Amino acid sequence: MAGQPTIYSGQGFSLLRDKKRFVLPNTLRPTVRESSGKDVLCLAKHAEWNCLVGFGLSRVDDFEKQLDAEEERADRAGRPYNRDKRAMQLYSFQQVPFDGSGRFVLPDALMGLANIEDQLFFQGVGRFITLWNPAELYALEGDGEMATIVATCRSLAEAEIAKVKGK
């Protein structure tokens, strides 16, 4: 439906493969493709967690409204708000192309920002996707609200690693 926000739901796991590529999971790929209008995943550093956020190009259309709403909330609460700094955070994403099978090369700079090495966990969280080095996610295991996500990541990682060892 026109005007409806894109919602990302589902999880996935990828090991680093040949040619330094990860694979965008089937559960998320069609939504990214539809949102971008092409095979492009936008990626940036998450503002709080040590992970990346991913989304389709259509989300960029909402950035100015998001900035307006954040500024209004800050004004009502009497808090300072640096619109330029926040805009720089929002618009500093990189467009990363993926092929028909979901394979993509994660830029080294983004890998470094989120401590990503050879494993990548994807979690749809509504308006965007989080992309995690599993070790960074496991560090949040003590947070009860993250328990299900951590358990899902562990399960998917074990299954993927076992599949590779079985070859």
Q: What is the CATH number of the domain that holds 140?
A: 3.40.1550.20
35 located within any domain: yes
Please calculate the CA angle 164-121-90 and round it to the nearest 5 degrees: 145
pLDDT band at 51 (very low <50, low <70, confident <90, very high): very high
pLDDT tens per residue, range 111-123: 999 999 999 999 9
What mean pLDDT comes out for the span 136-162? 92
pTM of the model as a whole: 0.90
pLDDT band at 3 (very low <50, low <70, confident <90, very high): low
First to last CA, the chain: 43
126 located within any domain: yes
**53, 129 in Cβ contact below 8 A?**
yes
pLDDT tens per residue, range 66-83: 999 999 999 999 999 999
106 located within any domain: yes
127 located within any domain: yes
> Closest by alpha carbon to 125, among 5, 9, 29, 6?
9
Containing structural domain, residue 51? 11-58+94-165
80 located within any domain: no
Q: How many domains does the chain have?
A: 1
Q: Is the pLDDT of residue 2 over 60?
A: no
Distance of CA 26 to the CA centre of its chain: 15
Measured CA to CA, the distance from residue 32 to residue 17 in angstroms comes to 21
